[in-house]
Structures are given as structure tokens and as C-alpha cells.
Amino acid sequence: MRSANVHLVGASKSDVAAELSKIAQKGMGEHWYHPDRQHTRLTIRFHPGAHPPQPLTTDDEFVGTLGTPPDLTLYCDTGSRLNPDEAGKGIETRELQDVVQMLLGRFRGVARDDLTNHLWTLDEIRSGKAVKGAPFGDHEAWRRANAKTTPRT
């Protein structure tokens, strides 16, 4: 699964929901479809929900980065919903990065993709910083950087 968790401090659910509703179609409960329900490329929901943050994060990690544990966590899932013409063009990486940057630009927080244990700041995502060989949420770059090669015999 291609996903990220966005951990926010000092943000209310209603403020975050209002921002999400500007870029995504609201579904049932606390669930949004980006860009809309018919062309879903990214689903977003508040945690706790069906998917706990992976890998699990301790409050100590947040205190070291944010000074406090988060007030809210959002789960963002790309779920590989690209059509064949878009596959391999980095579209889902850009869309995930754009949504996370919008959230971190509006609210104080950090994000964690499902590739590393790193808590990403907005500046790190914007700059294209690489951790374990890849920028935030870039599965293809991570695969290339972390490919295990076996010598030919």
C-alpha cells in the first residue's frame, strides 16, 4: 500500500476538514476522495480509523521534532489507482506530496510515508530531501535506491 500519515499539532478537526473539502470530495463520515469520488487517486481520513499509523510512532519522536505529541493524525492512501497511461509518470507521488504539502503549509506538523521511519517536515518535502535514497512518498525512487542485486555467476 502506498500511504502516508500526517500528524498535526494545534489543528481542529473542523479546520482540517474545511481544508480537505477544498481539494477533495467528502465521503461518509470523516473520509475524503481526491480529486473526487469518480476519479479517486487518494483517500484521506482521520485516524483512528481502519489503518493505524505505520510504522507506529511514539510520543517521544514527536516531542523531539514538534515539541509535543500530535493532536490529529490523517491517513492518506494512494492505493495505486492510476490508469495504465499514467503509470510510471510519478503522478501518484506528486499528488501525495501536493496534498501533504498543502496540509503542512496550513497546519503545524510532520508526515511519515510508508517507506521510512523519518518524520518529514514541510521544508524537507519541498526541498526534495532524500531519506534511504528517495524523497517523501516516492516508491519508485526508493525501490531503485534499495534494490538488492545479486551477482551473476
Closest by Cα among 4, 121, 125 to 55: 4
CA distance 42 to 81: 8
CA distance 31 to 80: 18
Q: Evaluate if pTM is beyond 0.75.
A: yes
Indicate the domain borders of the chain.
3-145
Residue 100: C-alpha distances to residues 145, 148, 151 (Å): 23, 30, 39
Report pLDDT digits (tens) over 57-85: 566 777 778 888 889 999 998 865 545 45
CA distance 95 to 67: 28
DSSP 43-69: EEEEESSSS--SS---HHHHHHHHSS-
Instruction: Classify domain 3-145 by CATH architecture.
Output: 2-Layer Sandwich (3.30)
pLDDT category at 42 given cuts 50, 70, 90 is confident
